Amino acid sequence: MNSSLRQRKKVAGVALPTAVLLLVAGAVTVQSTGPAAAAETTLRAAAAKAGLFFGVAASPNRLHPIVGQEFNQLTPENDMKPDRIATSSGGLQNTGGADTLVNHARSNNMLVRGHTLVWHSQAGALQGASQATLNTFIGNAINRWGSRIAYWDVVNEALEDNNTGRRRNQWPHSMNRDANGDGDFFDAGDTDVIRDSFIRAKQVVQAGGLTTKLCINDYDVEGLTVRGGTPNRKANALYDIVRTYRQYIDCVGFQAHFNDNPNSIITNDLQANIQRFADLGVEVHLSELDIDDDLSNNDIGAGQAENYRKVVRACLNVAKCTGITVWGISDSESWRSSERGLLFSGGNGNYQKKAAYHAVLDELNKGRSATPPTTPPVTSDPPTTPPTAGCSATVSLNSWTGGFVATVRVTAGTSPINGWNVQLTLPSGTTVTNAWSANRTGTTGTVQFSNVSYNGSLNAGQYTEFGFQGTGAATGLTPVCTAS
């Protein structure tokens, strides 16, 4: 590793008195070095102090000083896409723009997200390629930049529009085969371009001893619900993919292009959705954030600055939400310039901070878990309850008119446990519509939740969390936990 990256850094002229951003083998770490100091004055410094990156989509012709001053992560907006760099046989070409961006990121102590390897769009010479050719391209691209890429978007936008919860049916997903006709591509005899691309990418990373983390990235997957409280089937489908292929997938990008499309609004359950993916053990990123300035009729309020604040807060409140990337610097240079969705106005290096910028900076400066949840947690165990040998469970609720998301924390008592079961009795008229990180029996009345394969074993005092979503009210929930 470049020894300069090991040094304690001044970030674009702004010293970090209480936290030091280090790039260690491609990962951001934050070391506390003293008591809390005054608020940071750049997005990157405030984010680093809170333990996450704050990045920007960038192009070689827009590497103005602001890029390194305000951001500590960079995603090539177009220069690492297959239509720029892939040959028809999976080789590389025209990597000059990508190289420029990677070098700029390194010299400004920024992480890089590679974007993107397998995508139905902007495929260029790879359009229609076989899995074998895709695998060749995956190997060439990952090895070209090695651990200089902290995160690669291995598969981008694999799921259909309009909240169907289905995979896309065009190339490369047209290569998928559901051998036993059970409606998914997860079985041993099935063909799944997502699985096979991640397996290849993981092989390359492991063979090269790289620190690069492998991500799946999509849009309209941000909330548990979409407009009107309809379950977000696209998010649920992504969740199933990540859970099934967890051994190959390290991170999930919620693109977070928020606009007035009914499936693209900001919902109250954004944080709960981030949390359920985080509970799978993956990092979650808001990977392409922009918010229309006239976003209306959304669940959590209008006003661009306020919406930015809420989205940033949802990420900060989940420890494994480790980064936010805005999709460009200024409105005029955005792919959606008419929606004025970014943090700066102006252009061509002469930028002005918008109200949204100040809201984001302020929220980042508050750090993680700075504000209480909108609904106070309902806790079944008084804090004075001594630990028991079995397990205990507490419920936190995020409620809105007609529905709620419950997060249940299961804590082992004074001895290790190998499994758990939580029983909850729901009020009359309340129905569970969706659950994650647990097996569920029943949807009304008395409902049982038990551990899944990866979260049953807990050491003494250790906890895990699962969640469920429901319609109706969630009053008086008293969980009963039984350990095995």
Report the residue number, 335 or 463, with the smaller CB distance to ligand G3I.
335
CB of 157 to ligand G3I, least distance (A): 6
How far is residue 218's CA from residue 197's CA, in Å, rounded to a whole number?
Answer: 16
Query: Of the candidates 220, 269, 288, 331, which one interacts with ligand G3I according to CB under 6 A?
Result: 288
3-class DSSP assignment, residue 377 = coil
Q: How far is the CB of 379 from ligand G3I (least distance, A)?
A: 40
C-beta of 215: minimal distance to ligand G3I in Å? 12
Q: Is 127 left (phi over 0), alpha (psi -120 to 50) or beta?
A: beta
The amino acid that residue 410 corresponds to is V
Residue 23 burial (C-beta neighbours within 10 Å; 0-12, 13-18, 19+)? buried
User: Minimum distance from CB of 357 to ligand G3I (Å)?
Assistant: 20
Scan residues 77-96 and list those touching ligand G3I (CB under 6 A).
77-78
- Is residue 259 part of the contact set for ligand G3I (CB under 6 A)? no
- For ligand G3I, give the closer residue by CB, 78 or 471: 78
Q: Which residues contact 397 (CB under 8 A, 6 or more apart)?
A: 375, 377, 378, 404, 405, 406, 407, 474, 477
Closest-by-Cβ residue to ligand G3I is: 335
- The answer to the question of residue 100 lying near ligand G3I (CB under 6 A) is no
Round to whole Å and give the CA distance between 79 and 100.
10
**Cα separation of 356 and 360, whole Å?**
6
Letter for the amino acid at 384? T
Q: Which is nearer to ligand G3I, 78 or 127 (CB)?
A: 78
Which 389-428 residues touch ligand G3I, going by CB under 6 A?
Answer: none
Residue 255 lies near ligand G3I (rule: CB under 6 A): yes
Q: Choose between 254 and 357: whose C-beta lies nearer to ligand G3I.
A: 254
Is 465 in the active site? Answer: no
Size of the site for ligand G3I (CB under 6 A): 7
Q: What's CA 49's distance to the chain center, in Å?
A: 19
Q: DSSP 3-state assignment of 273?
A: helix
CA distance 443 to 424: 10
Residues 442-455: b if buried by 16+ CB within 10 A, e if exposed: ebeeebebbbbeeb
- Report the C-alpha gap between 480 and 464 in whole angstroms: 15
Q: Which is nearer to ligand G3I, 64 or 358 (CB)?
A: 64
Task: Check residue 122 for interaction with ligand G3I (CB under 6 A).
Answer: yes
Considering only residues 2, 33, 61, 121, which one is a binding residue for ligand G3I as defined by CB under 6 A? Answer: 121
User: How near is the Cβ of 259 to ligand G3I at its closest, in Å?
Assistant: 11
Cβ proximity to ligand G3I: between 9 and 113 the closer is: 113
Q: How many CB atoms lie within 10 A of CB 242?
A: 22
CA distance 257 to 160: 16
Least separation in angstroms between residue 367's CB and ligand G3I is 29
Annotated catalytic residue: which of 40, 70, 77, 157? 157
Task: Given the residues 40, 70, 222, 288, select the one marked as catalytic.
Answer: 288
Q: How far is the CB of 232 from ligand G3I (least distance, A)?
A: 18
Give the CB-side neighbour count of residue 389, counting CA atoms within 13 A: 1
- Judged by CB under 6 A, the residue of 64, 69, 184, 335 near ligand G3I is 335
- Is 339 catalytic? The answer is no
Looking at the Cβ atoms of 255 and 421, the one nearer to ligand G3I is 255
Task: Write out the catalytic residue numbers.
Answer: 157, 288
What residue ranges bind ligand G3I (CB under 6 A)?
Answer: 77-78, 121-122, 255, 288, 335
